[in-house]
Every structure is written in structure tokens, then in C-alpha cells.
């Protein structure tokens, strides 16, 4: 794996984590666009952005659960039950949330890649 992929993934995850804690959950899309603009390889950009999105949303949950000792699982259970999934589906609800982060960030990476390709100068024959 290239160094730029790892750097983009880690920086992206850190920015997503920070903005998620500020309530800016949608900023994962912006981070995906930036990763798509920065990495020249489209599949690499999308993969890097996807991992950054999942880490950026999962790490705050893990931090709250294990460091701050907050009842994250209880909150997931309440949300799952309120949305009609039932109390037993809290794990699936959490997985669906992380899948949403993956899709949001990867969609941004595709947009960033498309913008980069649109602005690339073409060779004249």
C-alpha cells in the first residue's frame, strides 16, 4: 500500500472524527472529495476514503465506550428500538451506521476523482 494512501486515510479519519464530535457528520463527504482530489488512483482513493469514513465514525464510538465509559450500546439500542428495528437489532443498526459512513465518504471520493479528471489538461494530437 502506498504511503499516500495511509496518510490520506489517517488524516481523513482524524478530520472526520473531529468534525463528527462537533456534530458535522456530513463532513465525511467533504473529506472524501479531498481524498479523491489528492490521490491519483481512483480505486485507491475510494478505498482510502471508505476506510477513513468508517474509522472516523467508529473511533468516537469506541472512545466513548471504552475511555469515557459511556453507555454507547444502550444508546444504539434506544435508537434501534425507536426506529422500529427492535432492541435485538442494535448491532445491525450500528453496522448500518458505519456502512452509511463508508458510502458517504466513498461517494465523496468518486466526486473528487471525477473533478480531478475534469480539470486534467488533455493532450493535443
Mean pLDDT per block of 10 residues along the chain (125 residues) reads 89 95 92 95 94 93 84 73 73 84 96 91 67
C-alpha cell at 107: 461517494
Grid cell 469514513 in the structure block, residue: 53
What pLDDT is stored for residue 123 in this prediction?
65
What pLDDT is stored for residue 43 in this prediction?
92
Grid cell 475510494 in the structure block, residue: 46
What pLDDT is stored for residue 97 in this prediction?
84
Q: What share of the chain is helix, strand, coil (3-state, %, to 5)?
A: 80, 0, 20
What pLDDT is stored for residue 124 in this prediction?
66
Task: Please tell me the pTM assigned to this model.
Answer: 0.84
What pLDDT is stored for residue 44 in this prediction?
93
Grid cell 445491525 in the structure block, residue: 92
Distance, in Å, from the CA atom of 10 to the CA atom of 81, rounded to the nearest integer, reads 33
What pLDDT is stored for residue 125 in this prediction?
57
What pLDDT is stored for residue 120 in this prediction?
78
C-alpha cell at 76: 444504539
Residues in the chain: 125
What pLDDT is stored for residue 26 in this prediction?
92
Half-sphere exposure at residue 12, Cβ-oriented, CA atoms within 13 angstroms: 36
Amino acid at each position: 500500500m502506498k504511503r499516500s494512501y495511509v496518510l490520506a486515510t489517517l488524516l481523513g479519519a482524524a478530520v472526520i472524527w473531529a468534525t463528527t464530535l462537533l456534530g458535522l457528520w456530513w463532513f465525511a463527504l467533504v473529506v472524501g472529495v479531498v481524498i479523491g482530489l489528492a490521490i491519483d488512483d481512483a480505486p485507491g482513493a475510494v478505498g482510502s476514503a471508505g476506510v477513513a469514513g468508517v474509522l472516523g465514525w467508529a473511533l468516537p464510538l469506541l472512545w466513548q465506550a471504552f475511555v469515557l465509559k459511556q453507555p454507547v450500546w444502550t444508546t444504539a439500542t434506544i435508537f434501534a428500538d425507536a426506529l422500529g428495528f427492535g432492541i435485538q437489532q442494535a448491532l445491525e443498526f450500528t453496522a448500518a451506521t458505519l456502512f452509511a459512513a463508508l458510502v458517504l465518504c466513498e461517494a465523496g471520493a468518486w466526486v473528487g476523482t471525477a473533478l480531478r479528471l475534469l480539470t486534467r489538461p488533455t493532450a493535443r494530437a
